[in-house]
Amino acid sequence: MFINGALYAAAIPIVFDLIQDLGVDFGEDAVPVPGYGPEQGVGTKYQVAAFAGGCFWCMEAPFDKLGDGVIATLSGYTGGATENPTYREVSAGTTGHAETVQVVYDPTLVSYEQLLDAYWHSIDPTTLDRQFVDSGTQYRTAIYYYNEEQKRLAETSRDDLAAANTFRAPIVTEITEASTFYPAEKYHQDYYKKKAMKYSFYRSLSEHQLGLNYL
């Protein structure tokens, strides 16, 4: 009886996590986090960039690793028409949104080119509407630019990669003007820190497949 009780107690948080991973959030975990705007220095001291690279759980860490110049990374949704989408809605593939990470950065400490380099090294840009173990338009790769300079730099970096024949197939990553970014629910923010073991396993599947399309 004691063993059964202990197993039951141990299983509860695991089941709870699985339910949340499917988009059924509870309490404050279900509430979108606040975004960054002029009040936080965006547009004056800081700039923003946005990158879609499959599941956003895997896209915060590559930018956070760039150091103090990255002020924040926010998982969220953009590129579609549905206002204030939820994770479940986006996961259904009917909103037009892509899972995206918005990067708030200090351009005096980290350049947009460095963000682009981190991005290209974290995705497979040759697969359409798919990244590794995830498929659907919500997992497409895209660079969302906020000004003409970002657009120019993004297009140049893409063209340079294509010219270098880095990949076995053509690059299909979109480069599109940024639209409204909707921060995701609290549960999905900093997932790689809060759920380190699950993230490491999930990431290992992606990293294995990442090398398959490199020459």
Domain ranges within the chain, ordered by starting residue: 2-213
Least reliable range by pLDDT among 23-32, 124-133, 143-152: 23-32
Q: Is the pLDDT of residue 103 over 70?
A: yes
Backbone angles phi, psi at 194, to 5 degrees: -75, -30
Sheet with 70-78, side-by-side order of all strands: 174-177, 141-145, 47-53, 98-105, 70-78, 182-183
pLDDT score, position 83: 97
Residue 58: active-site member: no
Name the one residue in this structure whose structure tokens are 């497949």.
Answer: 209
pLDDT score, position 7: 39
Q: Is the pLDDT of residue 153 over 70?
A: yes
Q: In sequence order, which residues have a C-beta less than 8 Å from that of residue 163 and are 6 or more positions away?
A: none
Mean pLDDT of 90-114: 97
**Model confidence pLDDT, tens digit, residues 6-37:** 434 333 344 335 444 555 555 667 778 778 77
Spot the catalytic one: 33, 48, 55, 98.
55
Secondary structure of residue 29 in the 3-state scheme: helix
Q: Distance (Å, rounded) from C-alpha 79 to C-alpha 110?
A: 25
Q: Is the pLDDT of residue 157 over 50?
A: yes
Q: Distance (Å, rounded) from C-alpha 74 to C-alpha 108?
A: 20
- Write down the pTM of the prediction: 0.81
Q: Is the pLDDT of residue 192 over 60?
A: yes
pLDDT score, position 20: 47
Four-residue CA torsion sign, 189, 190, 195, 197: positive
pLDDT score, position 175: 99
Q: Is the pLDDT of residue 84 over 80?
A: yes
Q: Is residue 171 a contact partner of residue 156, using CB atoms and an 8 Å limit?
A: no
Name the one residue in this structure whose structure tokens are 């350049």.
Answer: 111
Q: Is the pLDDT of residue 78 over 60?
A: yes
- Fold held by 2-213: Peptide Methionine Sulfoxide Reductase; Chain A (3.30.1060)
